[in-house]
Amino acid sequence: MTRRLMEGSEAIAEAALAAGCRFFAGYPMTPFTELLEHFARRLPETGGVCINAESELEAIGMAWGALASGARAATGSTGQGLALMQESLSEITRAELPLVVFHMARGQADYYQATRGGGHGDYRHLVYAPVDVAEAVALTQLAFDRADRWRNPVAIYGDYLLAHVAESVAVERLDFGPLPAKDWAADGTLGGSGRSRNVNSLGMRNGVKGIEPESFWKRLQAKHDEMARLEARSDAEATDGAELLVVAFGTLARFARFAVRELRRSGARVGLFRPITLWPFPADALRAAAASARRVAVLEMNAGQMIDDVRLALLGAAPVVPIGGISSDAAGFGIGPLLDAERVRGRIEDALAGREVAG
């Protein structure tokens, strides 16, 4: 397979097509817009459909219908647009539909939104945070597989840089093994058979009047517990004997990785832990990676969100300090001055020396 220079948006769209995505709907918004553009150009060429929806509410509604009829489908936006979609995002989880959501965020301040959500009720989404375009290609395909396997939404958490930086990548179709048949999908064929389907989020079952919320919600909880047990992914390097462990995700983790490798070469006892899944948070792996750490430094570009999950994972086993903070460009697109190797290196050096880091 040939490698080609592609910006993240194009590579992600190509990865979705390779995974068999046949439907996309979205509403333009920076930095998600180019992803929509690539789907709009490429889906019709491959027999699929991309609709320029009249709002984010309709975009996710359209994806819902495509999914319920059995197709692989996706939508996306940035944090603001996803805020509009929250009712559907939580309800689609209860309808057990395999939605893939591309969250091209304006920076990292949507960590809570992606991992806690703003929708109603108990629900969970698998959330992948790729560090670069090549990983985004792999995780996008994994997202479609896991969505189908769990019948649960899966989100890709990207940002402005992931969407717009061009890297040399090859998009190859990945095979994750056979999936169960979508015999639950409402394709119209079972009318009049007595076995027609009702794809719903209320726990309604055929032949049973009314709903059974408690048993239905408990069944979903058990599924989400199982997802939490099996789906956590992370990456760690130089953690053996590390006195300081830096925790970072997504684009910022790429800067942290560069700085940690440099510092390591100069003899500093510093390691890096990178959650690939933001939910489930890789707590067990983090505890193992932090075994020798005297300090854990959380580098994230927000007021402090992932740090909650780091503290919950470590439960006081090591002091946890924030070394990131709010950092933005003039437009608020999340390309802040903190996205700078020297600055990141300086913050890590401060943490190594036990100095307070001004956020």
Partner 1 sequence: MKAHKVGLEKPALQLGVDHDLCPGCGEPLALRMLLEAIEEVGCAQRAICVVGIGCYTALTPLMDVDRIQALHGRAPSVATGAKRMRPDALLFTLQGDGDMVSEGLQEVIHAAARGESITCVLLNNGVFGETGGHMTATTVLGQRTKNSLEGRDAAYHGHPILIGDLLAQLDGTAYAARASVHDAAGVARARRMLRRAFESQLRGDGFSFVEILTMCPTGWFIGTQQGPEYLDRVLGSVHVTGELKRDGRYVSTAALRSRAARAASRSAGRGA
List residues near partner 1 by CB under 8 A. Answer: 22-23, 25, 49, 51, 53-55, 57-71, 73, 87-88, 91, 95, 186-194, 196-202, 204, 206-210
Distance CA 22, CA 39 (A): 10
C-beta neighbour count of 207 within 10 angstroms = 6
Quote the least distance from Cβ 124 to partner 1, whole Å. Answer: 19
CA distance readout (Å), 45 to 9, 38, 171:
17, 11, 17
Quote the least distance from Cβ 83 to partner 1, whole Å. Answer: 16
The residue among 199 and 317 lying less far from partner 1, judged by its C-beta, is 199
The residue among 168 and 189 lying less far from partner 1, judged by its C-beta, is 189
Quote the least distance from Cβ 187 to partner 1, whole Å. Answer: 6
Q: Which helix (H) or strand (E) holds 208?
A: none
- Residues in a beta bridge with 37: none
Distance separating the N- and C-terminal Cα atoms of the chain: 44
**Edge-to-edge strands, sheet with 23-26:** 49-52, 23-26, 73-77, 100-105, 154-159, 126-128, 277-279
The residue among 30 and 200 lying less far from partner 1, judged by its C-beta, is 200
Asked if 99 and 147 touch (Cβ cutoff 8 Å), the reply is yes
Among 93, 125, 96, 62, CA closest to 199: 96
Among 113, 117, 107, 110, CA closest to 163: 107
Longest dimension (CA), the chain: 73
Quote the least distance from Cβ 40 to partner 1, whole Å. Answer: 14
Quote the least distance from Cβ 147 to partner 1, whole Å. Answer: 15
Note the residue count of the chain: 359
Quote the least distance from Cβ 275 to partner 1, whole Å. Answer: 31
Quote the least distance from Cβ 203 to partner 1, whole Å. Answer: 10
Among 291, 236, 242, CA closest to 269: 242
Distance CA 188, CA 52 (A): 25
The residue among 188 and 337 lying less far from partner 1, judged by its C-beta, is 188
SS3 158: strand
The residue among 186 and 357 lying less far from partner 1, judged by its C-beta, is 186
Quote the least distance from Cβ 6 to partner 1, whole Å. Answer: 27
The residue among 97 and 236 lying less far from partner 1, judged by its C-beta, is 97
Quote the least distance from Cβ 136 to partner 1, whole Å. Answer: 25
Distance CA 334, CA 35 (A): 17
The residue among 57 and 166 lying less far from partner 1, judged by its C-beta, is 57
The residue among 208 and 358 lying less far from partner 1, judged by its C-beta, is 208
Q: Is 186 exposed, middle or buried (0-12, 13-18, 19+ CB in 10 A)?
A: middle
The residue among 59 and 296 lying less far from partner 1, judged by its C-beta, is 59
Distance CA 92, CA 315 (A): 33
Q: Is 353 exposed, middle or buried (0-12, 13-18, 19+ CB in 10 A)?
A: exposed
Quote the least distance from Cβ 66 to partner 1, whole Å. Answer: 4
The residue among 92 and 301 lying less far from partner 1, judged by its C-beta, is 92
